[in-house]
Structure 1
């Protein structure tokens, strides 16, 4: 049985959460297949327009038929109605740009991960006190790794994932893991609009593989120190 903790562990072990959206259903599905071929087992599809829900439903159907190990999550959830819609079509986890308590109330007893975006200690405390375990630091490029390193000790029971402005290189990714992040969310650095428009799925695969390798190096270095 999938649990909240199990989903967190899969994302943390993967270390990188690819995220994307495309209005084209076929491109959305082909990107998902490309990510699966790289070894990715958790993906965030962002709720960015009227096509997001029908596209996501088709992606879930393809996932069920071809990629049983893939966790398919939905991002940019801003209200309860959106959460209910995507839950109805089979979303495995939910991510928001901010903390929406009624979304968490809807999901928590279903053992479905909810990862809210937070930008201040006040927001993180509110999420922690509500029972949230994984916090999305957003936007990461505004907060910076120094923010996480300065607050990590007072939130030792929480997992942190930074999203927004994470660059696909060792120095930037390592700065976040060194500060205490368990994972980083990456979108346009890996799955850019141009790459999708060009249907260059091979390039997307190659860039994701490079990012995975960087994360694995960092994770192995961390284990060696411990």
Structure 2
């Protein structure tokens, strides 16, 4: 049996896009929202409008349509949300997926064959908003992919067990109002053992819990090869 990292790398060949805008050809720009990015000292990234404006500047500067990044990035993005920072020593500020920032309405593309495991509108401020989780089984091994910050219409006609083939449109991105406080983007995360979670799974962790989540939520780039 392959280890999970080798399995993820073997599932796709070459760069695998999971977002499609209205442009004829999308181009990607790496985005740094970490606490180490000095440019953010004058940007309130906890404000959806300010965050979106900063990201648009990056896209304009690089002539790109999609900004991406964030795996294991320590961020201030959640600093004003009590759900993430109730206590300083237990602040959840390490991001466990990759974010793809683009215009609301962009199409989310399935990277590998799967079936719907669960879905839910996580409508609490600072959460995922509409969310879909797919289950994938490859060579007898199972893993899950989570898609957060979707449009509400993405949950229409959705049901557990619904099949999606690689390259199919799964959903579209929601607006800041729908994805509960964030500029439009896709949160994409791989999960190995999902336990009893349904339509939800932690996307941000504390430093104390990082070792566990790093193993249970491997780098999505193993699959996407961006």
> Normalising by the residue count of structure 2, what TM-score does the alignment of the two structures yield?
0.24
* Larger strand fraction of residues: 2
TM-score normalised to structure 1 length: 0.24
